[in-house]
């Protein structure tokens, strides 16, 4: 049956395919098999030789200066050795593709499709997320060091990991860039009452929820700013530490965003970036169900992506978190989505309309299934999560060090 359904979906256009998925008629077991097939297709696309549609995502697209830069970076297809014509290796092709990828994003805005990203993931009824996610409403990967943690415990394990890796303590000024529903902001404000905690969000509903929750908990050290991170400027040299959790995946010009964060940090200040990723190869979400429904304008970073953007901030430490942790988080979210359907329906109707509430309940299930299967591929070692800790150089100290030589 699976090959028949797979062939059927292959021959349907996007509208018909989406209609079948929206109907909820396909059992989860069937969906998982189809999803695994699509993931293998995706892996084939980002493995040399790259298909034309992938190459097109790292092309100049009418930008003459970028075209010249890419031609300058281009490597030959064959390498001439004494008496031998040696083909360039597949890894060489991958690196050439990555260099083009990094160069093209430097010529893009900090983010594109920001309205779509907000509409799809953030400017939605809090009741949807409160029923779907864990008690901290952490809309990102949690951490399961023993594998036996509940979702609530795993949320706090990851939050504690942020505290440890950033070295957060009383007296600091902390910024959460893309704070979601305040999982980190509220937790840190409770754990470290002597620290100023600032959250930045582009969502009105998120700010309303966090403000109300902070008031309920009596937290006086929380402040939430709303705006668009592409054009908002923070007070210069203000923050000691900053965190960004699964925001960079919605960005394009990482160099511009890292420069913005550098301006916000004091000299010696640190930024911890948590982003999901492919182990080796970045790519844009240009087409497909996920791009249309949940991730318009999004990017799958590579684990090393931000190491190529150290003009303003310098890498200090770099960690890989196995995709198993995200898959387990998503399976917990899926279980909640199924078990709490009736509680979610009024909030789904509020966000998407009465006529689309059931459709979106089905879509969220597919989102969890697709993402979970992706992160568990190859034992969690193909797609996973990266933590990258950056520091703003203290130029005065560097100059002093040079003078002391």
pTM: 0.90
pLDDT of residue 15: 72
pLDDT of residue 55: 81
pLDDT of residue 10: 53
pLDDT of residue 4: 46
Q: What is the full per-residue pLDDT of the chain (405 aa) written as tens digits?
A: 445 445 444 544 577 788 999 999 999 999 999 999 999 999 999 988 888 888 888 877 767 766 666 666 555 554 445 555 555 578 888 898 999 999 999 999 998 876 666 666 668 999 999 999 999 999 999 999 999 999 999 999 999 999 999 999 999 999 999 999 999 999 999 999 999 999 999 999 999 999 999 999 999 999 999 999 989 999 999 999 999 999 999 999 999 999 999 999 999 999 999 999 999 999 999 888 999 999 998 999 999 999 999 999 999 999 999 999 999 999 999 999 999 999 999 999 999 999 999 999 999 999 999 999 999 999 999 999 999 999 999 976 655 454 455
pLDDT of residue 88: 57
pLDDT of residue 5: 47
pLDDT of residue 249: 96
Q: Please state the three-class secondary structure of the chain as a single string.
A: CHHHHHHHHHCCCHHHHHHHHHHCCCCHHHHHHHHHHHHHHHHHHCCCCCCHHHHHHHCCCCCHHHHHHHHHHCCCCEEEECCEEEECCHHHHHHHHHHHHHHHHCCCCCECCHHHHHHHHHCCCHHHHHHHCCCCCCCCCCCCCCCCCCHHHHHHHHHHHHHHHHCCCCCCEEEEECCCCCHHHHHHHHHCCCCEEEEEECCHHHHHHHHHHHHHHCCCCEEEEECCCCCCCCCCCCEEEEEEECCHHHECCHHHHHHHHHHHEEEEEEEEEEEEEECCCCEECCCCHHHHHCCCCCEECECCHHHHCCCCCEEEEEEEECCHHHHHHHHHHHHHHHHCHHHHHHHHHHHHCHHHHHHHHHHHHHHHHHHHHHHHHHHHCCEEEEEEEEECCCHHHHHHHHHHC
């Amino acid at each position: 049956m699976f090959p028949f359904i797979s062939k059927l979906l292959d021959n349907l256009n996007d509208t018909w395919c989406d209609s079948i998925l929206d109907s909820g008629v396909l059992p989860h077991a069937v969906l998982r098999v189809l999803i695994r097939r699509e993931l293998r297709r995706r892996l084939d696309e980002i493995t040399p030789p790259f298909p034309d549609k992938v190459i097109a995502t790292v092309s100049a697209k009418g930008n003459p200066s970028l075209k010249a830069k890419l031609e300058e970076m281009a490597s030959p297809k064959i390498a001439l050795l004494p008496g031998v014509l040696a083909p360039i290796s597949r890894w060489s092709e991958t690196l050439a593709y990555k260099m083009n990828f990094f160069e093209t994003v430097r010529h893009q805005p900090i983010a594109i499709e920001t309205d779509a990203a907000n509409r799809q993931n953030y400017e939605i009824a809090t009741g949807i997320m409160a029923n779907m996610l864990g008690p901290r409403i952490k809309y990102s990967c949690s951490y399961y060091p023993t594998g036996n943690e509940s979702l609530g415990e795993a949320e706090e394990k990851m939050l504690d990991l942020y505290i440890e890796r950033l070295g957060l303590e009383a007296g600091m000024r902390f910024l959460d860039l893309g704070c979601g529903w305040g999982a980190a902001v509220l937790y840190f404000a409770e754990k470290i009452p002597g620290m100023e905690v600032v959250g930045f969000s582009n969502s009105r509903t998120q700010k309303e929820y966090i403000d109300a929750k902070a008031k309920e908990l009596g937290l006086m050290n929380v402040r939430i700013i709303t705006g668009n991170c592409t054009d908002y400027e923070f007070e210069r040299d203000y923050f000691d530490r900053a965190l960004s959790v699964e925001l960079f995946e919605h960005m394009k010009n990482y160099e511009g965003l890292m420069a913005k964060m550098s301006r916000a940090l004091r000299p010696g200040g640190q930024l911890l970036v948590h982003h999901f990723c492919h182990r080796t190869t970045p790519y844009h979400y240009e087409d497909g169900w996920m791009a249309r429904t949940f991730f318009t304008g999004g990017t799958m970073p590579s684990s090393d992506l931000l190491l190529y953007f150290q003009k303003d901030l310098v890498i200090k430490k770099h960690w890989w978190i196995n995709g198993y942790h995200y898959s387990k988080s998503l399976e917990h979210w899926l279980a909640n989505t199924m078990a709490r359907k009736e509680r979610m329906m009024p909030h789904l109707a509020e966000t998407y309309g009465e006529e689309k509430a059931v459709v979106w309940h089905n879509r969220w299930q597919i989102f969890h299934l697709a993402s979970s299967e992706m992160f568990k591929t190859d034992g969690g070692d193909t797609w996973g999560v990266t933590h990258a800790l950056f520091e703003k150089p203290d130029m005065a100290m560097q100059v002093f060090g040079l003078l002391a030589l």
